[in-house]
Amino acid sequence: MTAALDSESVSEKAIPPAQTSHKFQHPWWRGNARFVDQSGMLLGAHLAQAALITLWAGAMTLFELSHFNAAQPMFEQGIILLPNLARLGYGVGEGGLVSDTYPYYVIGVVHLVSSTVLAAGGLFHALLGPSALAADDTFAGGFGYDWADPDKMTSILGTHLVMLGCGAWLLVIKAMFWGGLYDANLETVRVITNPTLNAARIFGYLIGPLSSGGMAAVDSLEDIVGGHLWMGLILVLGGAWHTTTQPREWAKQLLVWSGEAYLSYSLAGLAYMGLLAAYFVTVNTVAYPEVFYGSYLAPLDQNPFVNSRSWLAITHVFLAGMALLGHLWHGFRVRAADAGFDLTQKQVVQTLDLQVGNLETPVNSSAAVQWLIGNLPIYRPGLSAFRRGLEIGMAHGYFILGPFVLLGPMRTTDEAFSVGLLASLVLVVVMKGALDMYGSATFTQGRTPSWLSSQVPAALQTLDGWRQFSLAILIGGIGGAIFAHELCVRTHLF
């Protein structure tokens, strides 16, 4: 029974009708997987988890405050939350000195009180509320859902995007109307009256002349606040779009619509944002001022110590790595179940074709991998045999130059690129000869062997088509190798 339910929990079409029983059909260590068909219980679990996070934030803030020494730099005291409050301008005076700790106390207490409210909601839905919320037109019905309903899932995504956009705008409100932010360049707290609205400058951190360091290259509070303005607008508009529209057909076909699939997608987003945050806190000293987080360059003549900046960066990398592993694990299970594999029975090979030597696994049989393979030149529909060979030859000729140049016996001489090009051309010619011999042996007397895969285009199943394919690989391979060689030896032109 458990194995069957585990398989159903990651299947697109395995969502059973809403249940009202609180009886768990999964062991406790499976966490929220126990609530895959119990939306009310899942809501309670999320509220309880939010309560724990908020409780930790409030308690940790008060704990750090009880040990805080205003005469000593923050980054030397092993604290991680107070620097985040200080950079927002709370209780900070000239030079980044903390002059008032009362705001930190208030923020800690507010978090503690909020955690009790969230905990009460979690207990209600876990113990008193219905285990499954009905999906109807009432307010409570808006929290009911079917994992396999793409329209409902994108509506939930849209709601989350709107909330994230409003969160971005809260920073803008704090910066412009509610006390301002700490400016590391001026070493004081100031109100941002003229945030950058120029889209070319804001998005220039991603593309264009300012993009060498990415978003982490931002060097003014005006740009930071303006970026939050723009991101808040994009998130809100994106949320409205997802809430009011249905997924496109390509998205319905490409994505898997199940609870574990959404978990996998969410973990991928967390991993990306965690790595980005680690990079940002490591190199940026405007959003993360050195007076609160410490220097981003450890002195070489001193014993290194773990300051707030390095602690945050390392923690983000570690948590992002864990999220990435979780994404890969759950994504593998989702794709395997969608392809018809039963991992609960350790089924990782579904079919075996000894003639072709192909093992159909959850990886090569997934929709994403099949889409990628189907768009390679050898399988892409609508191409002639010559065009297929030309694309394949150009790609191979372009990439085989590098190993000859970097690993060849003359790699340390001035003739490395010339010898590498010559070796690449010889290899392309040898490849052409091997293809011709294979074609002559395979397509004898105009016959196509019965074992040839039906997925191979018809143009390559004749001797004439194969010869065109082979000739095009020769031309494309020579051209690709020469092109790569010219790029390497004429870098000064770029």
Give yes or no: residues 353 and 437 share one domain. no
Q: Is 353 part of any domain?
A: yes
Q: Please check whether residues 465 and 369 belong to one and the same domain.
A: no
Instruction: Please answer whether residues 101 and 70 qualify as being in contact, where contact means their C-beta atoms are separated by less than 8 angstroms.
Output: yes
Within its chain, how far is the Cα of 195 from the centroid? 29
Identify the pLDDT of residue 5.
Answer: 37
3-state secondary structure of 353: strand
Is residue 269 situated within a structural domain? no
Within this chain, do residues 360 and 389 fall inside the same structural domain, yes or no?
A: no
Question: In this structure, are 359 and 426 located in the same domain?
Answer: no
Domain assignment of residue 51, yes or no: no
Give residue 39's pLDDT: 81
CA atoms within 13 A on the CB side of 67: 13
Is 9 in contact with 258 (CB distance < 8 Å)? Answer: yes
One domain for residues 358 and 394: no
Q: Assess whether 466 and 394 both reside in one domain.
A: yes
65 vs 69: CA distance, rounded Å: 8
Pick the closest to residue 389 from 348, 340, 435, 330 (CA basis). Answer: 435
**Which among 131, 128, 135, 116 is positioned nearest to 58, based on CA atoms?**
116
In a 10 Å sphere around its CB, with 0-12 CB exposed, 13-18 middle and 19+ buried, how is residue 454 labelled? exposed
Say how far apart CA 54 and CA 476 lie, in whole Å: 60
**For residues 14 and 7, is the Cβ–Cβ distance under 8 A?**
yes
Using one digit for the tens of pLDDT, what is the confidence trace for 447-473? 666 556 566 787 788 888 889 999 999
The answer to whether residues 458 and 364 belong to one domain is no
In DSSP notation, 8-42 reads HHT-TT--PPP------SS-GGGGGGGGTT-HHHH
Where among 374, 397, 423 does a domain terminate?
A: 374
Alpha-carbon distance 53 to 385, whole Å?
60
Domain extent for 350: 343-374
Residue 8 domain-assigned (yes or no) = no
Same domain, 487 and 392: yes
> In this structure, are 370 and 426 located in the same domain?
no
**Along the 494 residues of the chain, how does pLDDT read in single tens digits?**
333 334 434 333 333 344 334 455 566 666 777 777 778 888 888 999 999 999 999 999 999 999 999 889 898 888 889 999 999 999 998 988 999 999 999 999 999 999 999 999 999 988 888 888 877 777 777 777 888 888 888 988 999 999 999 999 999 999 999 999 999 999 999 999 999 999 988 888 887 665 677 788 888 999 999 999 999 999 999 999 999 999 988 888 888 888 888 888 999 999 999 999 999 998 899 999 999 998 876 544 455 567 888 888 899 999 999 999 989 988 888 887 777 766 555 555 555 555 555 566 666 666 777 778 778 888 888 889 999 999 999 999 999 999 999 888 888 888 899 999 999 999 999 999 999 898 888 777 656 665 565 667 877 888 888 899 999 999 999 999 999 999 988 877 76
pTM higher than 0.85, yes or no? no
Residue 292 forms part of a structural domain? no
φ, ψ for residue 489, nearest 5 deg: -90, -10
**130 Rama class: left (phi>0) / alpha (psi -120 to 50) / beta:** beta
Residue 372 pLDDT: 81
Last residue of a domain, one of 331, 355, 374: 374
Per the CB < 8 A criterion, the answer to whether 457 and 382 are in contact is no
Residue type at position 338: D
472 inside domain? yes
Token digits for 75?
């980054």
The rounded distance, in Å, linking the Cα atoms of 469 and 39 is: 56
Nearest to 351 by CA among 342, 363, 343, 361: 361
Within this chain, do residues 363 and 443 fall inside the same structural domain, yes or no?
no
- Phi and psi of 358, rounded to 5°? -115, 130
Are the C-beta atoms of residues 400 and 411 closer than 8 Å to each other? no
Q: Are residues 368 and 409 in the same domain?
A: no
Q: The domain spanning residue 427 has which CATH number?
A: 1.20.1240.10
pLDDT of res. 354: 54
Does some domain include residue 127? no
Q: How many domains does the chain divide into?
A: 2
Do residue 454 and residue 400 come from a single domain?
yes
Assess if residue 169 is contained within a domain.
no
pLDDT at site 165: 96
439 within 8 A of 459, measured Cβ to Cβ? no
For 248, which DSSP code?
Answer: -
> What pLDDT does 151 receive?
87
Contact partners, residue 309, CB within 8 Å, separation at least 6: 75, 281, 282, 288, 290, 293, 294, 295, 296
